[in-house]
Amino acid sequence: MAWHEQEFLASLTSVAPRTRDAYRSDLAGFITWAERGDLHEPGGVDRVLLRRYVAHLSARRYAKRSIARKVAALRRYFRWVARTGRIPTDPSINLLAPRGEGRLPRVLRQDELSALLDAPGPAALSGDPVVRVRDDAVLELLYGSGLRVGELCSLDPTDLDLERARATVWGKGGKQRVLPLSEPAVAALRAWLVHRPDQAALFVNRRGHRLTPRDVRRLLDRRAVSPTHPHALRHTFATHLLDGGADLRVVQELLGHADLSTTQRYTHVSRERLRVVYEATHPRA
């Protein structure tokens, strides 16, 4: 009871059960380690001890991402212990964890892209043909213009200028940007607008309500040959632009990134793709 684990876990009313289980496991690991050093309550923990624990995890070859999660759990625990008056100060303030390896965005293979855009499988063809037309337009926009799924779902017909092949999008922070539309996207949108119900939203579901990100994920479940998140189409859009020689600043503007460093991760994907192609095709690779 000296560590007050159960009271802490009970205080996590706003987190998902899996997250609470992760906190329980991470806290138990720290307590076991601390008690091996004859420490049996949080009042004896200081920042030096916490840093030693992080070093211990690194020495045990835990992944950086796992260490970062454990550090986050400890910070939340000690913040709670201090806030509830069980210790005078929080020793985890400014406790740092090694930065996790950033995951490179997933880029769809050509066969995956073709299955989505050009040759949908039986699950897509056996349904309502009007839904198929809508889905075509959704996918052409996600890939052809690199929209975030939330941006796509918030579009209204008045945001489109099909004559000039462009769309006005409201991105993060209420920032507006005007994006070019690909020829296939314009054709797919024209076909959808013929069937679209008289609603304010550009894309609607079977009940006539504005399409949601969850609806788009279900769409991809029907059309994709392997599990695919809507954001993968945005990643593929950006990477294909860079593969084709597009300037990084232009890609930043198209994606609506406030920070160029966010866009730069796509250069790593592009370089990796070039390396794979080189090694697979060059006789001296």
Q: Which of 167, 159, 129, 157 is nearest to 254 (CA)?
A: 167
The DSSP symbol for 43 reads G
Whether 70 is catalytic: no
Exactly one of 83, 172, 190, 206 is catalytic; name it. Answer: 172
Known active-site residue 23: no
257 assigned to active site: yes
Instruction: Of 96, 101, 87, 4, give the one whose Cα is nearest residue 50.
Output: 96
From 177, 231, 265, 273, active-site residue: 231
Q: Both ends of the chain: CA-CA distance in Å?
A: 61
Catalytic (active site) residue 175: no
The catalytic position among 76, 234, 235, 240 is: 234
231 is catalytic: yes
Q: Which of 24, 65, 166, 257 is catalytic?
A: 257
Q: Quick check: 181 and 165 in contact, CB under 8 A? A: yes
User: How far is Cα 132 from Cα 126, in angstroms, rounded to an integer?
Assistant: 9
Give the separation between CA 39 and CA 33, rounded to whole angstroms: 9
Q: Which two tokens stand for residue 23?
A: 């906190």
- Tokens matching residue 24: 């329980």
278 is known as an active-site residue: no
Q: Considering the candidates 76, 134, 148, 196, report the single residue annotated as catalytic.
A: 148
> DSSP string spanning 102-132?
PPPPP---HHHHHHHHT---HHHHTS-HHHH
Could you tell me if 57 and 29 are in contact, meaning their C-beta atoms sit under 8 angstroms apart?
Answer: no
Which positions are annotated as active-site residues?
Answer: 148, 172, 231, 234, 257, 266
